Amino acid sequence: MRFLYCLLLYTITVVISVDHEAEEESNRRRIIDQLTRTKTVLLDDYHLVTRHIATEVNMYRNYRTVSVLFYSMNIDLTYAQFTFQSEELHLNNIGSCSPQEVLIKLKHGSYPAVNPDGYDFPKDFIEPSLREEVHTIDILSDGRNRTYTIRYPKPGSWYALVYIKWEDPRKQKVEQEGLVADCRTILYTDLQVKEEEKIRFVDCYSGFNLDQKDMPATLKCMATDKPDPISLNITFLDIDTSADTYVTLRLQSLSLPSDDNYIIYCIYDPKINNILSVTFTPNPNAWHYIRVDQTRENVTMVANCESYQRTDLSDAENLTILDLMRDDKGRFFTFDYGLPTTDLQDATSVLNVTSSEIKSMRFKVNQFLDIGGSLSIEASLLMSLKYYMGNYKRESTKGDLLEFTEDNQFMKAVICLNVGHASVPLESGHCKYNDRVTPALFVLNSTDSESVYSKSIIPFPESGTWYLTFRLFCDSTVCPCPTSEDGTKYYVNSSGITDVGLSSNKTRQGSSECNASVVVALSSSSCVGGSCSNHGNCLLNTFGGMVMSFCSCSAGYGGWDCSDDSRMDSRAYMLLSILLLTLSNLVFFFSIYVATIRFYYTEAMMYAFTMLFSTFYHACDAPSQVAYCIIRGNILQFGDFYCGLMSFWVTLLAMSIVSDELRSFCQLTGAIVVALFTTWNMHSFVSFLLPVAIGATVLLVSWYLDYRKTGIMRYPWSYYSKYMPIGIILVSTGLICYAFLQTEQNYKIVHSIWHMIIAFSVVFLLPDVKRGPNANPFLPTPSYYTGKFSRYFRRSRTPIAE
């Protein structure tokens, strides 16, 4: 007998394994067959760079469910055309597959940081306007091609996030595997590029000649590693003085310039002077592209190139570059940047800045290795201890007069952050790089203790060389400043002008020169600061060799760092939900009681275990605020599904007309088979349907054979006409609720009803045949309590062989 059980167990294991492998192989072949119908159409003068054939796309839940695509761009490109084609694979013969809305987020330098679920980014996150543009492509999975073209793309790495448009899971239907269509969304994509063929190499530092008949002309030159301004000198040859033409010049770094993408765009009249001189600030160690063309219109909206013949370049020339040290911590995305130091404990930098200089910290973010975390930048003016202890704040007093102390003179530090180049901080709180003016990252000032410090977090930082540039501005107001009576405080009008006449011994001049120390902390970590606000787990998603960190939120929290509780249910609502799901199992007490008084002890034991596992599983599966786990949740989940299926199995065997020996054999065999199915896929409808179908077959066959042998129905007529129909109706109602009516929103109610209906149906399905014909089906017989307990332990009458 043991050999038979082992053989049965082995056979079932092999069948399940082979069936699962065959299913995966069949799905793989269907994907390949369907994708072979997708033909790449190569455009004229384009060449194919990258192709992703079968990318599976899932609905967005968090960054674990996104697919990541990688594209590599060469230099000197004029066009990059992306082709996308998404379609649905129908992997079973149930229902049909509807096209899904697929979103592609495309970005240069790093993974796009997006929030498709509508949660707000944390307040310390950097403004999106300070980062690379995110391109959005929206397509349907209907098998049609969609192209997206980028003109003059930046060279290097491009990344795309692909996912099905987010839907609120609270409103989604809970679908049972095996009852609905099994649909997979796949994506085909390729990248074709077109290169600029006629590009002339020149030296930006020594100047070059250009014949007017060769225009339009595209030129490029390489800048050195120094950020010093470059004076570009172009000498025009063979100028036609009779023609009323002008020359336009566009200049851009890294990529070819376009009508709306340039660092310099100006117009020049070569008839006045055949030598054009333009001064610009370059990207260190990068290619710069120059487009020179002719036009017959004097475009008044475009700056004159003579305005770029700058002589006052003190701001750019006073720039000092400081290379930072990388302090690696040996974990994913965990490292610091700081000024070189031998201190092993801290990489925080203290930068001394004066009002007559500009300093820039330079550090490198590596592609693939560093872009999957979040970069944190903190900066603070270093003030006196008295300043912090007193929680200093400049208050408006005497109308619009602002007060400050002589020890803590008013100063402002403007800090700019750029990738690839340094910009010049302006007193207005902006950053200037050639013609580009953008908001500064930080503006620190000593007006109060709240604005001397600022912090910014950059999720998925772009790869490349970063520049953090500092400039200090003083209180340069020069005026007679009124003082307080004791002469310890001075007042400056907020507009910088005062007409208050006071004696000279109580006045002083404002300052135009100052110095300060700025404390800077640059660090990278997984997720946000290495954690998820204690309301989620910081996990890693790997896709094709690329790694990114993300937060998997729990207990109803959401957002990038799991700090958003706007969609979280109230504690009372969560308690009500868990009470419904757990206390609804108490109906099984009635099933246990009825099974016991009818002498179905094995069945009563299964109902008891079903009640216990279901109760404690739902208590553990609740939000963390109200959850209670006696053991690990996966063990409780297995016990819940396994005991639930076994309850159906033993109930069907109890209704069958078979001998006790055969019933024991079937119960043990079913225990093994149900355990295998539950381990294989407890959520599959097949795992539920197959044991129930076999049990129902055994039931019907046993009834048929018994009736054929005896010619009479074994159970009382009341069982067939009243109790069993009620039980079947209850079970059918419960299965309909379980399989078709559950949504995330009503789960607690419908699933609780399922618990109660199934528990109550047992009372009507168990045949009461082990007692007398006149016994009350819901009350014990009078002799039930008089039997001796020792009868269960009496010696077997089977003789023992000597």
Digit-coded pLDDT (tens) for 551-579: 998 877 888 999 888 888 888 888 999 99
How many whole angstroms separate alpha carbon 617 and alpha carbon 585?
11
DSSP string, 580-634: HHHHGGGGHHHHHHHHHHTT-HHHHHHHHHHHHHHHHHHHHSS-TTT---SS-HH
| 3-class secondary structure, 327 | strand
pLDDT of residue 792: 56
Contact assessment for residue 473 and residue 430, using Cβ atoms and an 8 Å cutoff: no
DSSP run (H or E) holding 4:
helix 2-35
Contact assessment for residue 94 and residue 181, using Cβ atoms and an 8 Å cutoff: yes
How many whole angstroms separate alpha carbon 543 and alpha carbon 162?
12
Q: Buried b / exposed e across 509-539, counting CB within 10 Å, b at 16+?
A: ebeeebebebebbbbbbbbbebbbbebbebb
Residues 6 or more apart whose Cβ sits within 8 Å of residue 262: 250, 251, 252, 435
Its pTM stands at 0.80
DSSP run (H or E) holding 169:
none
pLDDT of residue 297: 73
Contact assessment for residue 382 and residue 516, using Cβ atoms and an 8 Å cutoff: yes
DSSP run (H or E) holding 337:
strand 334-338
Residue 532: φ, ψ to 5°: -130, 50
pLDDT of residue 316: 61
Residue at 278: amino acid letter: V
How many whole angstroms separate alpha carbon 99 and alpha carbon 115?
23
Place of tokens 């340094």: 422
How many whole angstroms separate alpha carbon 155 and alpha carbon 161?
19
Domains defined for the chain, CATH in brackets: 43-195 (2.60.120.680), 200-311 (2.60.40), 317-398+407-476+511-525 (2.60.120), 479-508 (no CATH), 529-568 (no CATH), 574-793 (1.20.1070)
What residues form DSSP beta bridges with 250? 265, 291
Contact assessment for residue 207 and residue 232, using Cβ atoms and an 8 Å cutoff: yes
What residues form DSSP beta bridges with 292? 217, 249
Both tokens of 746, joined, read 């009503």
Place of tokens 């559950």: 742
Residues 6 or more apart whose Cβ sits within 8 Å of residue 712: none
Residue at 764: amino acid letter: F
Q: What is the dihedral of CA 92, 96, 98, 104, to 10 degrees?
A: 10
pLDDT of residue 395: 44
Regions of the chain where pLDDT drops below 70: 1-39, 174-178, 241-242, 298-299, 310-317, 344-345, 384-409, 447-450, 475-512, 772, 783-802
pLDDT of residue 614: 94
Residue at 256: amino acid letter: L
**What is the maximal distance between C-alpha atoms in the chain?**
131
